[in-house]
């Protein structure tokens, strides 16, 4: 699929500058920290950070006592995450075809990574999240709120990119999460007055 190749190549290109961009981001985001703290408190077992990028969220979860590992489509991001956090495990892989066995993890975190998956592929990704989660496991998704798709052609230091960013309404995502077999437990709306608001969805298997 061309979107997979484009996304991987784009994030390979911006890996270092993206890592600088997100450095310290959690210090400025109390509600995001709260979501991760809730995830850590509720997950009883290993957790997978899907679309982990340079591993900043994975490392934060580990600091909260979670047995966390990460997976990302971009080999460049995974290489950077491994070098930055050598004590943690990071692998290359796609959320639309997760290379994990069934019911192996107690939690799945997908923070602003499902935003690059086309609408028609979202059910496949959610299906894999459901498959790898244990019964009672927790899924937490962070995403951009809105309608439509924006093409990102440059970013993070002005480097060229070729990636789509999909904005979604809470009802749209919640409907598909339920269709994948999850119970939607809660949704938080962040920055409601911003041009592009953010949201975090909590669901259980």
**Tens of pLDDT along 77-94?**
999 999 999 999 999 999
Are 158 and 170 contacting, i.e. CB atoms less than 8 angstroms apart? no
Residue 12: the pLDDT is 85
Half-sphere exposure (Cβ direction) of 59: Cα atoms closer than 13 Å? 17
107-117 mean pLDDT: 97
Domain boundaries, the chain: 2-204
3-class SS of residue 185: strand
Per the prediction, the chain carries an average pLDDT of 94
User: pLDDT by residue (tens digit) across 33-89?
Assistant: 999 999 999 999 999 999 999 999 999 999 999 999 999 999 999 999 999 999 999
Which is more confidently placed, 154 or 140? Answer: 140
For the chain, list the strands marked E by DSSP. Answer: 47-50, 68-72, 90-92, 105-111, 133-144, 148-155, 159-167, 183-190, 198-204
Cα separation, 58 vs 95, in Å, equals 16
**Residue 130's pLDDT is what?**
98
| Portion of the chain with pLDDT greater than 90, in percent | 77
The alpha carbon of residue 162 and the mean position of all alpha carbons in its chain are separated, in whole angstroms, by: 19
Residues 124-133: pLDDT tens digits? 999 999 999 9
Q: What pLDDT does 170 receive?
A: 96
CATH code of domain 2-204: 3.40.50.150
How much is the average pLDDT of 174-197? 94
pLDDT at site 1 = 65
CA distance 3 to 119: 12
Instruction: Give the contacts of 120 (CB within 8 A, at least 6 positions apart).
Output: none
Whole-number Å distance between alpha carbons of 162 and 152: 6
């Amino acid at each position: 699929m061309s979107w997979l190749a484009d996304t991987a190549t784009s994030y390979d290109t911006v890996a270092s500058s993206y890592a600088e961009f997100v450095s310290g981001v959690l210090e400025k985001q109390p509600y995001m920290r709260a979501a991760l703290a809730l995830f850590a408190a509720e997950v009883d077992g290993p957790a997978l950070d899907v679309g982990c990028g340079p591993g900043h969220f994975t490392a934060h979860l580990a600091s909260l006592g979670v047995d966390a590992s990460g997976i990302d489509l971009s080999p460049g991001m995974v290489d950077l995450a491994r070098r930055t956090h050598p004590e943690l495990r990071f692998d290359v892989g796609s959320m639309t075809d997760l290379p994990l066995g069934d019911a192996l993890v107690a939690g799945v975190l997908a923070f602003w990574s499902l935003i690059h998956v086309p609408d028609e592929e979202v059910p496949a990704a959610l299906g894999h999240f459901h498959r790898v989660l244990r019964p009672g496991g927790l899924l937490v998704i962070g995403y951009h709120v809105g309608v439509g798709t924006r093409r990102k052609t440059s970013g993070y230091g002005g480097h060229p990119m070729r990636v789509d960013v999909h904005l979604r309404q809470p009802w749209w995502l919640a409907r598909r999460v339920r269709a994948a077999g999850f119970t939607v437990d809660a949704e938080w709306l962040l920055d409601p007055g911003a041009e592009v608001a953010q949201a975090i969805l909590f669901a259980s298997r």
